[in-house]
Amino acid sequence: MADITEIRELAQKLNLWNIARGYIDLNDEKLSNLEYLKMVLEKELEIRARQKHTKLRKASKLTNKAFDTSNSNKGLKCQIKQLSNLTWLKEEQNLILLGKCGTGKTGLAAQLGETAISNGHKTYYAPFDNFIAVAEKKATNPKAEAIFSYMQECDLIIIDDVFYVEPTRAELQVFYRAVTFLNETRSIIFITNRELSAWIDAAEDKHLCQTLLDRITVNCQIVRLTDK
């Protein structure tokens, strides 16, 4: 008769690490052989799903800010419910979360990011300044290169504080190139407190800024958040 050690050795060869490491109880013999095997495999999948979620959540750098819907108007609640279905993500649409400071834009983005991760989508969050720094240094700095490579693997990228401070001409050029490249096969959430028309007013290179807006809004939903 096989013992638990032998079973764990076999599990290790099959990369069933949660069985191999003893995370799943192999001593529960109250079920029939087939039922027990089904239970063990289901637990293996359940543990793998939790481990994957933990790994994706850590890699995402998502903020822990929460979004409170209690004071949101009916239209916004309906829009958020629709966004939670992630149809926009599957269709590689962009989102622009627009509103004044304190209206919950970052919290809503984090909530949508959590939903994406829970559905197995790689996600990455970066404030605008960090995103620019990574895009600028990706060719010369190993850490920046690794982060940018990870963003290329992601289904969703969240960029916070876009145009919170007026970007320089050089920063806008870096932002344009990086966003244009990354936006080809994934969704991006842009979080901003400026009206889109004000982006152009704030930019040194107004033509480039208009081209950027044309690109990111061609397949895009705008979510406007207001003061509570």
| pLDDT at site 157 | 98
Q: pLDDT of 19-32, one tens digit each?
A: 778 777 766 666 55
Which of 43-47, 107-111, 197-201 comes out lowest in average pLDDT?
43-47
| pLDDT at site 9 | 76
Average pLDDT over residues 84-105: 94
| pTM score, whole prediction | 0.83
What is residue 178's three-state secondary structure?
helix
Average pLDDT over residues 156-169: 94
Q: pLDDT of 37-64, one tens digit each?
A: 677 777 888 888 899 999 999 999 999 9
More confident residue, 203 or 156: 156
| pLDDT at site 20 | 74
C-alpha distances (whole Å) from 117 to each of 72, 89, 175, 212, 216 are 24, 12, 25, 27, 23
| pLDDT at site 74 | 86
| pLDDT at site 73 | 85
Which residue ranges does the chain devote to CATH 3.40.50.300?
74-224
Average pLDDT over residues 200-213: 93
| pLDDT at site 70 | 77
CB 224 within 8 A of CB 196: no
CB 157 within 8 A of CB 185: no
Domain 74-224: CATH architecture, name and number where available:
3-Layer(aba) Sandwich (3.40)
- H-helix segments, the chain: 4-13, 17-20, 33-60, 74-83, 87-90, 105-118, 128-137, 142-153, 169-182, 196-202, 206-217
Q: What is the CA radius of gyration of the chain?
A: 22
Taking the C-alpha atoms of residue 20 and residue 17, their distance in angstroms, rounded to an integer, is 5
Average pLDDT over residues 166-172: 94
CA-wise closest residue to 167 among 177, 181, 182, 152:
177
More confident residue, 9 or 102: 102
